[in-house]
Amino acid sequence: MTKSYDQVCALAREVSIINSSASVLSWDQETYMPDRGLGHRAHQLAYLTGKAHELATGKKFRTRLEKAEKEKRAFDSKEAANLREWRKELERAVRIPKNLVEEESEATSHGKAAWVEARKKSDYALFAPHLEKLLGIARKKAELWGYEGEPYDALLAGYEKGASTREIDKLFSALKPELTQIARGAVEASKGVSPTALRGKYPIEKQQLLNREIAESLGFDFEAGRIDTTAHPFCTTLGAGDVRLTTRYDERDFTSSLFGVLHEAGHGMYEQGLLQEDFGLPSGTAVSLGIHESQSRLWENHVGRSRPFWEKWLPRAAEIFPHLKKVTLDEFLRSIWKAEFSFIRVEADEATYDLHILLRFGLERRLVDGSLKVKDVPQAWNDGFEELFGMRPPDDARGCLQDIHWSMGGLGYFATYTLGNLNAAQLFAAAKKQRKIGDSLARADYAPLLKWLREMVHAKGSLIMPRELIRSATGREIQPKWHLTHLRERFL
């Protein structure tokens, strides 16, 4: 390492000190902050993120980066990879003028409030002008960033490095026919399963006991993390050695909080597996949302919804919740594998989830390229939904108003959910093949799987791009076939 490289690192770490401080404040806002603290908290967050942005795009950083870039180093060195990532981030950041950042910040703040209201009243007209505004900003940003194929590429790149819209479209098109078939078959096969078979009294403290025991056994390190309660589960990193998960509780059904924890613990173990000494550098940072989601989905669905998993944990759950003693393993699995067509994405089961994403990806792409008008979204949504699910949303609250993403300017984000599912299946299949992970999982020993993921995924940070990461870990290009195989085996 050279002095100028070290100086870039020092500034990057300074940026991450500020950003991770903001993460503490955001976490607190979601978990414990009293209502009247909101105004001041907004000032604090705006100030800190503004300072971090200033520092990350300022002259000092640019000069140091240029100096370090001029030095000779091996293309495949960590230093070279970090410098490339800083350059990419810088180029994206500096192309957006300050007034557009402010315009977007204001538009999302109003957009979110309008969306809450519109969803509550199921009145798309209340949200449409805000979506118009936010879409305009997103398109302007796409033009400023530039793209090779289509404007959606530029937005996508903010969430999934190195991905192209065309490739995702190809993947999703390959996925769609069989996925639709599997979903229909799964829904058909689940028809006899009572949706309330596991209903009972599950006191929150007992759920917390079980959730923690399971998360710990998977490998989530509670010396370097914790679980709290929020309206919507999430995972956030507040610093090296400090990863926070959240979940929510349904006192009639323990699986709701548990699968929330398994999902977030998957994200959390990725964060804990990053090089902690590189915290704040690209080499110590998760590479993309699609890879992040692969970790959560892998632990939630491939491990946490599997038969061997519940062979171990159903008896333990029944110790904590004695009425589960009368539920057989098969009955239990039928319950957690129950598939049905439903209007709301966040409540969707594994078999039907990706259909929700396919719909959104298509609509978003057309919104961004201008071939779909904002005013036509409800019609297009409902038509698309009917085609995929064979039923029509009764109102926009259960249709195009259900997700928060667009109201926050998050256009280009949805595809990463299904990318995550494809990545998860492909990684899990490779792990089982390469290391006979299946045997250890049958013994409820999760360490070998975590070790493999640590090596193949976590330790890479952002040193290699998602596509290359999947290729190097699995020996193949990303393909839908493992995900389809998994769904077929589980549901048909």
Active site residues per annotation? 264
- CB under 8 A: which stretch of 234-242, 318-326, 339-347, 382-390 binds a second copy? 234-242
Binding string to a second copy for residues 275 to 304, with x set by CB under 8 A, is what? ----x-------------------------
Interface residue with a second copy among 158, 185, 200, 239 (CB under 8 A) is: 239
Shortest separation between residue 319's beta carbon and a second copy, angstroms: 23
Of residues 185 through 224, those in contact with a second copy by CB under 8 A are: 221-224
Q: Which of 327, 334, 333 is nearest to 192 (CA)?
A: 334
Shortest separation between residue 300's beta carbon and a second copy, angstroms: 22
Shortest separation between residue 411's beta carbon and a second copy, angstroms: 30
- CB under 8 A: which stretch of 69-77, 131-139, 236-244, 249-257 binds a second copy? 236-244
Q: Is 230 in the site for a second copy (CB under 8 A)?
A: no
Q: Is 55 in the site for a second copy (CB under 8 A)?
A: no
Shortest separation between residue 45's beta carbon and a second copy, angstroms: 9
Interface residue with a second copy among 34, 72, 231, 326 (CB under 8 A) is: 34
* Smaller CB separation from a second copy, 226 or 451: 226
Q: Is 33 in the site for a second copy (CB under 8 A)?
A: yes
Q: Determine contact, residues 228/241, Cβ cutoff 8 Å.
A: no
Shortest separation between residue 28's beta carbon and a second copy, angstroms: 6
Distance between the two ends of the chain, CA-based, in angstroms? 55
Shortest separation between residue 405's beta carbon and a second copy, angstroms: 27
Q: Which of 255, 150, 272 is nearest to 220 (CA)?
A: 272
Of residues 251 through 280, those in contact with a second copy by CB under 8 A are: 279
Shortest separation between residue 102's beta carbon and a second copy, angstroms: 18
Q: Is 38 in the site for a second copy (CB under 8 A)?
A: yes
C-alpha–C-alpha distance, residues 284 and 268, integer Å: 14
Q: Which of 309, 303, 299, 355 is nearest to 332 (CA)?
A: 309
* SS3 letters across the chain: CCHHHHHHHHHHHHHHHHHHHHHHHHHHHHHCCCHHHHHHHHHHHHHHHHHHHHHHHCHHHHHHHHHHHHCCCCCCCHHHHHHHHHHHHHHHHHHCCHHHHHHHHHHHHHHHHHHHHHHHHCCHHHHHHHHHHHHHHHHHHHHHHCCCCCHHHHHHCCCCCCCCHHHHHHHHHHHHHHHHHHHHHHHHHCCCCCCCCCCCCCCHHHHHHHHHHHHHHHCCCHHHEEEEECCCCCEEEEECCEEEEEECCECCEHHHHHHHHHHHHHHHHHHHHCCHHHCCCHHHCCCCHHHHHHHHHHHHHHHCCCHHHHHHHHHHHHHHCHHHHHCCHHHHHHHHCCCCCCCCHHHCCCCCHHHHHHHHHHHHHHHHHCCCCHHHHHHHHHHHHHHHHCCCCCCCCCCCCCCCHHHHCCCCCCHHHHHHHHHHHHHHHHHHHHHCHHHHHHCCCCHHHHHHHHHHCHHHCCCCCHHHHHHHHHCCCCCCHHHHHHHHHHHC
Q: Is 369 in the site for a second copy (CB under 8 A)?
A: no
* Smaller CB separation from a second copy, 230 or 440: 230
- CB under 8 A: which stretch of 25-33, 343-351, 434-442, 451-459 binds a second copy? 25-33
- CB under 8 A: which stretch of 43-51, 106-114, 166-174, 463-471 binds a second copy? 43-51
* Smaller CB separation from a second copy, 34 or 177: 34
Dihedral of CA atoms 220, 225, 229, 230 in degrees, nearest 10, equals -100
Interface residue with a second copy among 241, 315, 322, 475 (CB under 8 A) is: 241
Shortest separation between residue 50's beta carbon and a second copy, angstroms: 11
Q: Is 169 in the site for a second copy (CB under 8 A)?
A: no
* Smaller CB separation from a second copy, 216 or 330: 216
* Smaller CB separation from a second copy, 160 or 242: 242
Total residues contacting a second copy by CB under 8 A comes to 35
Shortest separation between residue 14's beta carbon and a second copy, angstroms: 7
Q: Is 413 in the site for a second copy (CB under 8 A)?
A: no
Interface residue with a second copy among 1, 3, 10, 40 (CB under 8 A) is: 40
Interface residue with a second copy among 7, 44, 229, 479 (CB under 8 A) is: 44
The residues of the shown chain that bind a second copy, judged by CB under 8 A, are 14, 17-18, 20-21, 24-25, 28, 32-41, 43-44, 47-48, 221-226, 228, 238-242, 279
